[in-house]
Structures are given as structure tokens and as C-alpha cells.
Amino acid sequence: MTQSVLFVCLGNICRSPLAEAALRQECANAGLNIIVDSAGTGEWHVGQAPDERAVAVAERNGVDINHLRARQVTASDFRDFNHIIALDNQNLNDLTAIQPAKPGAKLSLLFDHVEGRAGEDVTDP
């Protein structure tokens, strides 16, 4: 079974696209075939390109995110992804509130996957 990861922040224009791009790059470097995407819990940025600050950070790290477009989390994401990783506790709470009764995806925070940082938020710029 192919692993899949969805990163989620509020608007899907800064933190989650950067996390998506970083994991995609690491998977490519390691030769791993993992589906990676990002979304937001809010709807107001749907269809928009990443924030210019996120684009600049990505470019400084050799990654182009200009092609990404914001989207909102959908009910099918809980079925289509193995892991849904929130960038902060508020978005984790929002995801928990909207997840279906039998979600396929495991919910967590990004920093839950970093030793010594469990429970911490990735701050919004």
C-alpha cells in the first residue's frame, strides 16, 4: 500500500505548502514513492498561489512552490490519505471535529514527529 500524507494549516498558502514541498523533496532525494499534498481548514484562499514569503523560503531551499494552489480539506481526504498532519493544535482540533466516524487517516501534529517537540505548533508567519 502506497503511503500518503496530507499537511494541513489554516489557509493552505504558507505552512502546509512548505511542508508539502519539503517532504516531496526529501522523498525524491531518497527515492521514495509517497503521495504528498496539502490543504487548509479554511476556504478563503482556495485557488490562490502560496504566500510570497513561503515562495521565498522555498526558493532559498532550492524548491519551487509557485505551481501549488490552495484547497480546502474535504471529507474524502480522511479516506484518501494514510496520515493527515496538522501544523498547529487549532487545525488539529478542527480536523478532529470534521473527521468522519471511521476515518482511514491518522491525525497528528507535525512536531509530534520531531523528538522533543511533540504538541508544539508550527507558528503562522
Please say if the pLDDT value at position 1 is more than 80: no
- Which residues, listed in sequence order, are joined to residue 37 by a DSSP beta bridge? 6
Task: Domain ranges for the chain, please list them.
Answer: 4-113
Q: What is 4-113's CATH superfamily?
A: Response regulator (3.40.50.2300)
Residues with catalytic function: 9, 15, 124
pLDDT one-digit tens code per residue, 15-46: 999 999 999 999 999 999 999 999 999 999 99
User: What is the amino acid identity at position 91?
Assistant: N
| Residue range 41-98, pLDDT digits in tens | 999 999 999 999 999 999 999 999 999 999 999 999 999 999 999 999 999 999 999 9
Distance separating alpha carbons of residues 14 and 42, to the nearest angstrom:
13
Q: Locate cell 480546502: which residue?
A: 72
pTM of the model: 0.95
CA nearest neighbour of 20 among 80, 83, 79 = 83
